[in-house]
Amino acid sequence: MKLQTLIGSIVATAAATALANPFPKADAQKGERLVKESKCNACHVSIVGGDGTAMFTRADRKVKTAAGLLSQVRTCNTMLGTNWFPEDEENVAAYLNQAYYKFK
């Protein structure tokens, strides 16, 4: 019985962790570096002004979910020709989520 309880606790903890971080395999620090190297904010500044971060914090933002965030990062990757690999896109999404969106 104790083994079943232990296994149940491990499964519950793993599930809670997965829910708490929608990009568990991603590296947010690498994502931040990619955002800076690719000068993503230059495009954001041209759209929303300021330092470009209002793109993430504005009341009418398009991104409403973690899946939507990853989709938007993929769209930007394609449109800007940054040539990021899928894992790079996840790293960027993880960074943006950690810094701005806070999706769980």
Q: Which of 9, 1, 88, 2 is nearest to 96 (CA)?
A: 88
Distance of CA 63 to the CA centre of its chain: 11
Q: Residue 72: what pLDDT?
A: 97
DSSP H helical segments within 1-104, as ranges?
A: 2-20, 28-37, 40-48, 54-57, 66-80, 86-96
Q: Residue 89: what pLDDT?
A: 98
Q: Residue 13: what pLDDT?
A: 46
Task: Give the residue ranges of the chain where pLDDT is below 50.
Answer: 6, 11-18
Residue 48 token pair: 């929303």
Residue 28 token pair: 């947010």
